[in-house]
């Protein structure tokens, strides 16, 4: 029976770690510039080439905005024909995506067994660090395991705050909803380190920890994150099975139960924006929403950290309409952008998701505002604006974390 059980365990976990790492050798990054609304709309059609290895990294919201896409050698002919046919100007900006990936995280692999705030860390190392950080911080911190991913990984939230009363003010921060956006978990760890370890030496930190309970979830999609580490650097979704399909995973940022599937989401399990079979089909999003609902009376601000593009996004993401208190959200967003700019001079665009990026329903920020009733709800899109995109090099981790921290501090001060 024991041998059988081991046999089954091996079979059950086999698909998670395929023997070979996906190579992006010969994949190219294209930039295209749609000049008209029609051309901008047409770009969406490239989605049908997804199975051939076309991945639209950033699509245009309005004409005149650049589109970034990665293209496999196999799909190259189709893509170039498409651009020519519709007279859309394009150029190849990266000739070999694999060498770009290699140069972005070489130094991470070399030290992958040592946790460091200046590296991209593995999920298990992140959770171990959270435990030891919480225990070194004493009564100001605690750990709550809020759920388990499809493949059995723990979703660990650290609470940092002085108060024990349940009606105090609170801020929620999640990171890593999308697997390949590695700078996101890194930025959340930097924030945790500051809030925990600078409490006694930094009066700004002290006032923020005294004023708010901080709930921070650094690794919201651990199966996807590990998959992006071990097998496919550009994996975005979770790793759940989809019945009737050989494709894995749902987009955890299309899976929330508010205006689910209304716009900007796919019902195709093979798509990168697959919304799931039903809202909250994924154990990861379910764990997050259950925890947030249990704290919703105290939560004043929701921040979801993503990459890339350099945006501070507010609801709504499902409609062009703005929330009735949009001016308040914009004010706090602008404070955040000013904080960020003050560190390294980077500018972040503030606005509603639909208006400044693109419409996409079923995302966590809309749910946080509409259902959990959290007034100040944001999605942060960190560095960069598209040169490195998802594969931001290790050398940029520290500056990116410093500016993100300054932005979040200013936002928290603004709602204080």
Interface residues with Zn ion (CB under 5 A)?
A: 178, 306
User: What's the closest the beta carbon of residue 267 comes to ligand ARG, in angstroms?
Assistant: 16
Distance CA 298, CA 318 (A): 26
CB 181 within 8 A of CB 198: no
Q: Which does 49 bind (CB under 5 to 8 A by kind): ligand ARG, Zn ion, none?
A: none
Q: Which residue has the tokens 């019902």?
A: 267
- Closest-CA residue to 92 (of 70, 74, 62, 60): 70
Q: Which does 360 bind (CB under 5 to 8 A by kind): Zn ion, ligand ARG, none?
A: ligand ARG
Buried-exposed string 382-404: b where 16+ CB fall within 10 A, e elsewhere: bbbbbebbbbbbbebbeebbbbb
Q: Which stretch binds ligand ARG (CB under 6 A): 196-204, 206-214, 360-368, 403-411?
A: 360-368
Residue 102: is it exposed, middle or buried by C-beta count within 10 angstroms (0-12/13-18/19+)? middle
- By CB under 6 A, tell whether 150 contacts ligand ARG: no
- By CB under 6 A, tell whether 352 contacts ligand ARG: no
Q: Is 381 one of the catalytic residues?
A: yes
Buried-exposed string 228-255: b where 16+ CB fall within 10 A, e elsewhere: bbeebbbbbbbbbebeeeeebbbbbbbb
Give the containing element (helix H, strand E) for 51: none
- By CB under 6 A, tell whether 355 contacts ligand ARG: no
- By CB under 6 A, tell whether 303 contacts ligand ARG: no
User: What's the closest the beta carbon of residue 221 comes to ligand ARG, in angstroms?
Assistant: 12
User: What's the closest the beta carbon of residue 31 comes to ligand ARG, in angstroms?
Assistant: 18
Identify the residue among 54, 313, 408, 412 touching ligand ARG (CB under 6 A): 313
- By CB under 6 A, tell whether 55 contacts ligand ARG: no
- By CB under 6 A, tell whether 306 contacts ligand ARG: yes
Q: Which two tokens stand for residue 202?
A: 């930094």
- Closest-CA residue to 127 (of 152, 150, 105, 158): 158
The smaller minimum CB distance to ligand ARG, of residues 284 and 365, is found at 365
Q: Which does 312 bind (CB under 5 to 8 A by kind): ligand ARG, Zn ion, none?
A: none
Q: Which does 219 bind (CB under 5 to 8 A by kind): ligand ARG, Zn ion, none?
A: none
Active-site option among 282, 284, 381, 403: 381
User: What's the closest the beta carbon of residue 381 comes to Zn ion, in angstroms?
Assistant: 7
- By CB under 6 A, tell whether 174 contacts ligand ARG: no
Q: Which does 363 bind (CB under 5 to 8 A by kind): ligand ARG, Zn ion, none?
A: ligand ARG
Q: Which does 76 bind (CB under 5 to 8 A by kind): Zn ion, ligand ARG, none?
A: none
Concatenating the DSSP letter of every residue in 63-127 gives: TT--EEEEE-GGGHHHHHHHHHHTT--EEEEES-HHHHHHHHHHHHHHTTTS--TTSPPPHHHHH
The smaller minimum CB distance to ligand ARG, of residues 366 and 403, is found at 366
Rounded alpha-carbon distances, angstroms, from residue 349 to 163, 184, 202, 353: 34, 18, 29, 11
User: What's the closest the beta carbon of residue 225 comes to Zn ion, in angstroms?
Assistant: 12
User: What's the closest the beta carbon of residue 98 comes to ligand ARG, in angstroms?
Assistant: 24
- By CB under 6 A, tell whether 237 contacts ligand ARG: no
- By CB under 6 A, tell whether 360 contacts ligand ARG: yes
User: What's the closest the beta carbon of residue 177 comes to ligand ARG, in angstroms?
Assistant: 8
- Number of Cβ within 10 Å of residue 16's Cβ equals 16
Distance CA 58, CA 75 (A): 18
- By CB under 6 A, tell whether 97 contacts ligand ARG: no
Which residue, judged by CB position, is nearest to ligand ARG in the bound state?
317
CB 28 within 8 A of CB 96: yes
Q: Which two tokens stand for residue 221?
A: 């999609």
Side by side, the strands of the sheet bearing 67-71 are: 54-58, 67-71, 28-32, 90-94
- By CB under 6 A, tell whether 314 contacts ligand ARG: no
Distance CA 3, CA 370 (A): 50
- By CB under 6 A, tell whether 284 contacts ligand ARG: no
| Enzyme catalytic residues | 381
Residues that bind ligand ARG (CB under 6 A): 253, 306, 313, 317, 353, 360, 363, 365-366, 379
């Amino acid at each position: 029976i024991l041998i059988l059980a081991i046999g089954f365990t091996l079979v059950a976990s086999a698909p998670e770690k395929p023997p070979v790492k996906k190579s992006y050798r010969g994949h190219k990054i294209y930039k295209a510039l749609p000049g008209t609304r029609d051309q901008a709309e047409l770009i969406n059609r490239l989605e049908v080439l997804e199975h051939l290895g076309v991945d639209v990294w950033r699509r245009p919201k309005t004409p005149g905005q650049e589109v970034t896409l990665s293209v496999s050698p196999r799909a190259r002919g189709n893509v170039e024909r498409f651009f020519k046919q519709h007279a859309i100007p394009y150029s190849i900006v990266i000739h070999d995506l694999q060498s770009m990936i290699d140069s972005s995280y070489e130094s991470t692999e070399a030290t992958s067994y040592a946790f460091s705030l200046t590296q991209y860390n593995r999920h298990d190392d992140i959770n171990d660090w959270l435990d030891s950080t919480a225990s070194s911080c004493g009564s100001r911190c605690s750990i709550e395991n809020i759920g388990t991913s499809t493949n059995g990984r723990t979703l660990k939230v650290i609470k940092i705050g002085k108060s024990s009363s349940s009606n105090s003010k609170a801020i929620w921060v999640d990171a890593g909803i999308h697997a390949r956006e590695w700078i996101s978990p890194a930025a959340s760890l930097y924030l945790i380190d500051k809030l925990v370890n600078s409490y006694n030496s930094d009066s700004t930190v002290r006032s923020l920890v005294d004023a708010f309970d901080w709930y921070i979830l650094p690794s919201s999609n651990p199966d996807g994150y590990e998959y992006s580490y071990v097998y496919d650097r550009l994996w975005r979704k979770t790793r759940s099975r989809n019945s009737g399909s050989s494709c894995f995973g749902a987009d955890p940022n299309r899976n929330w139960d508010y205006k689910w599937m209304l716009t900007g989401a796919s019902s195709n399990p093979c798509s990168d924006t697959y919304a799931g079979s039903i809202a909250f089909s994924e154990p990861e999003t379910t764990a997050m929403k259950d925890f947030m609902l249990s704290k919703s009376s105290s939560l004043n601000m929701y921040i979801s950290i993503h990459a890339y593009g350099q945006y501070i996004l507010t609801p709504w993401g499902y409609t062009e309409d703005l929330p009735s208190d949009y001016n308040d959200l914009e004010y706090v967003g602008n404070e955040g952008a000013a904080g960020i700019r003050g560190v390294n001079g980077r500018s972040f665009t503030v606005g509603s998701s639909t208006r400044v990026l693109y419409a996409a329903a079923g995302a966590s920020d809309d749910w946080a505002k509409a259902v959990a009733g959290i007034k100040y709800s944001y999605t942060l899109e960190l560095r960069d604006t598209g040169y490195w995109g998802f594969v931001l090099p290790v050398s940029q981790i520290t500056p990116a974390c410093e500016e993100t921290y300054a932005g979040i501090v200013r936002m928290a001060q603004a709602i204080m």
